[in-house]
Structure 1
Amino acid sequence: MHAYLRQFYRIFGVMFDASKATSGYDIDLYWSGEPYNTFLASLRQFLAPLNVLGDADRYLKLSGIQYLEVILENTASIIHKMGQTPASEAEVYKAVRHILESVFPSAKTPKSNFFKTAQEYKPDILIPELSSAIEYKHANNEAKLKAVIAQISDDVKGYTGDDDYNLFYAVFYVTNDFWGKAKFEKAWEEKNFPKNWRPYYIVGK
């Protein structure tokens, strides 16, 4: 507990700054879409392991999402360290999936109900414990990159009807930096995808 207290002081400071604590707000893009106080959110997350909060599970899930996003951001590094040069979408997500399955056990045998009249939609990776689905896209030229961004529009419509999943990731693995991150983010913004869809632009080889 002494070590835990030292961590508390390191994160929140020895002196309590009420003005700063009450003025910091952000938008909860993961669930509610509503503004929340960042100090209280950090405090709840810090206290969650002590099991003194009724909504501790929500903040443990938020911690899990942070781990997930770090893994997705490091897709290129993971593939590079494995010595692979993926030539397809399947080769990309298979290289990362075993990492995710090690961190999130529920990703090993997931189920979903994304059924539509004409077809069943199957995300590349599902993580039930985080209510998250991940779709990987592979592009080896600029034209293909434009095409796979357009494909996400169909995925957005298809990945509905299953209340167990409410956060979706689109990871674009490109073999060269065709656009740069700024142009990619602009193209994504112009599509007006739902806020619960989060993109990643990953430059590999």
Structure 2
Amino acid sequence: MQVKAAISSIEKCLREASNHFLSDSYGEPLTDDDEAVASYYIERAFIELLVLVEHLNLPSTYRRVESLLEQALKDGLTKSKMGSDEPYLVWAEKLRMFVDGLSELHGLGETDASEMRDIKSILRRAVYMLCDTTLFADVPKKESEVHARIEGILKCHYQDLKSKPALSKPIKKFEPDSAIPSIKTLIEYKFITSKAEAKRVADEILADVSGYRSPDWRNLLFVIYETERVMHEDEWTALLQECGLGRNYDAIVLSGSAKAA
């Protein structure tokens, strides 16, 4: 449990660092405030990782991380490079390799999987807000309304979130609804009112499943909004598993009718 909590804390630091770095890195110089915050979280991630590997009695790993920290302090904690779609923090990516290795070693799953769980947890807690008529004139009536409201929620947690992002390397005919570069996650929204629509959406996923594969994006989350209970979340998850997409491709079902009552 201590290892899991430590890894979760390091992941959070890396996510916060990327959020502040990416919020101003698209064609605009990084502000002093954002650079300071990003630097703080990168250094904190280094320190927490050093504490963890020392606790686990991994002297060789400790020396490697310590050497990386010395180099990072010399070159700059917010040193970056341009990736295929967006710039990235060099030291954050190097630290992720250690975190992923420790996570696998202790049977905690990949960092990607934990990031997916974080997003799903945020959406489950916020589902009531989607249908809150004190905030909106009515419950969602179409996919674009679900899309806009969910992005408003996620933007509070992931400052680099992009709506209808343009991918530098288009993936088949797939055009994602949202993208979160800092955790390399794409999101697709679906609006369902009947079993017939559920079948159509399932067929669409099955037909285009190969198009969702890309080395530039680790995670893909389908957000299924139902106006009434149509298809259980386990059924959508099973569908994705049958497609052979892997554990970093997932679905979450949000039911609007019960929350709107």
| TM-score (norm. length: structure 1) | 0.64
Aligned AA (1:115): P
Q: Name 1:68's counterpart in structure 2.
A: 119
Q: Name 2:147's counterpart in structure 1.
A: 93
1:74 and 1:154 mapped to 2: Cα distance? 32
Q: Name 2:184's counterpart in structure 1.
A: 131
Tell me which of 101, 107, 122 is aligned to 2:161.
107
CA contact (8 A) 1:153 1:193 kept: no
| TM-score (norm. length: structure 2) | 0.52
1:65 and 1:192 mapped to 2: Cα distance? 17
Deviations 1:37-77 (A, max 9, x none): xx4x4433346645222464465976754432222334532
Structure 1 unaligned spans of 5+: 1-10, 13-38
1:20-35 alignment, distance < 5 Å: none
State the SS of the aligned residue for 2:187.
Answer: strand
How many residues were matched structurally?
Answer: 165
Q: Name 1:168's counterpart in structure 2.
A: 220
Q: Name 1:149's counterpart in structure 2.
A: 202
2:212 and 2:188 mapped to 1: Cα distance? 10
- Using the TM superposition, give the Cα deviation of residue 148 of structure 1 relative to its aligned residue in structure 2, in angstroms: 0.9
- Using the TM superposition, give the Cα deviation of residue 121 of structure 1 relative to its aligned residue in structure 2, in angstroms: 2.4
How large is the RMSD of aligned CA atoms in angstroms?
A: 3.2
- Please say if 1:196 is aligned against 2:251: no
Deviations 1:164-204 (A, max 9, x none): 21111011111001244455555555555433210112111
- Using the TM superposition, give the Cα deviation of residue 113 of structure 1 relative to its aligned residue in structure 2, in angstroms: 3.4
State the SS of the aligned residue for 1:92.
Answer: helix
1:57 and 1:192 mapped to 2: Cα distance? 25
113 and 152 in structure 1: CA distance in 2 versus 1, 3 angstrom threshold? farther
- Using the TM superposition, give the Cα deviation of residue 104 of structure 1 relative to its aligned residue in structure 2, in angstroms: 1.1
State the SS of the aligned residue for 2:141.
Answer: coil
Q: Percent identity?
A: 21
Instruction: Give every structure 1 segment of 4 or more consecutive aligned residues whose post-TM-superposition deviation is greater than 3 Å.
Output: 41-50, 54-67, 108-111, 179-194
75 and 192 in structure 1: CA distance in 2 versus 1, 3 angstrom threshold? farther
144 and 65 in structure 1: CA distance in 2 versus 1, 3 angstrom threshold? closer
CA contact (8 A) 2:236 2:251 kept: no
Q: Name 1:19's counterpart in structure 2.
A: none
